[in-house]
Amino acid sequence: MALQDKYRAVLNLGQELNIQDGSVEEKDGKLYIGGTANTQYEKNQLWAKIKSIGGSDSPHDISADIKVANTDFYHKHVVAAGESLSKIAKHYYEDPMKYKDIFAANTDVLKDPDLIHPGQELIIPFA
């Protein structure tokens, strides 16, 4: 199986995330990929997918050079119906109590941590 086939889910995720300046090259038994993710969260998603397919924290058959375009925040999140800050915090940080960090980063948009509305774009700060 070609390495591009093995890591097809990573390449597809890169397209889904709209990775800019993407490159893919298979050479000497190794797959080299590169590009620029919009946020650190998106870069982390790609690395998680690479590790899940490669079977370790440092798969030997792939090399990824993924840069990040925006380093001012971890990610931006558009609120969906039924979400709360604690639910959003659990998604990004695996800790619902970090909702306070999200609220603090968005006081220009939010006045009450219990009042968020679908369609609002929130900054998700670095943990």
Q: What is the pLDDT of residue 56?
A: 83
Q: Does 38 lie in the same domain as 80?
A: no
> Taking all residues of the chain, what is their mean pLDDT, rounded to a whole number?
97
Q: What is the pLDDT of residue 58?
A: 85
Q: What is the pLDDT of residue 10?
A: 98
69-82 residue pLDDT tens: 999 999 999 999 99
Q: What is the pLDDT of residue 7?
A: 97
- Mean pLDDT within 9-13: 98
Q: Does 10 lie in the same domain as 56?
A: yes
Q: What is the pLDDT of residue 1?
A: 62
State the distance between the two ends of the chain, measured CA to CA, in whole angstroms.
Answer: 39
Q: Any idea what the CATH number is for the domain that residue 102 is in?
A: 3.10.350.10
Q: What is the pLDDT of residue 45?
A: 97
DSSP conformation letters of 24-73? EEEETTEEEEEEEESSHHHHHHHHHHHHHHHTSSS-TTEEEEEEES--SS
Distance CA 64, CA 49 (A): 12
79-122 residue pLDDT tens: 999 999 999 999 999 999 999 999 999 999 999 999 999 999 99
pLDDT beyond 90 at 11: yes
Query: Which of 124, 59, 108 has its CA nearest to residue 46?
Result: 59
Q: How many Cβ atoms from other residues are within 10 Å of residue 15's Cβ? A: 9
Q: Rounded to 5 degrees, what angle do the CA atoms 119, 14, 32 make?
A: 155
| Domains identified in the chain, total number | 2
Q: Does 36 lie in the same domain as 10?
A: yes
37-80 residue pLDDT tens: 999 999 999 999 999 999 888 899 999 999 999 999 999 999 99
CB burial of residue 19 (10 Å; 0-12, 13-18, 19+): buried
Task: Map tokens 């970090």 to a residue.
Answer: 98
Q: By residue range, what is the domain housing residue 86?
A: 75-124
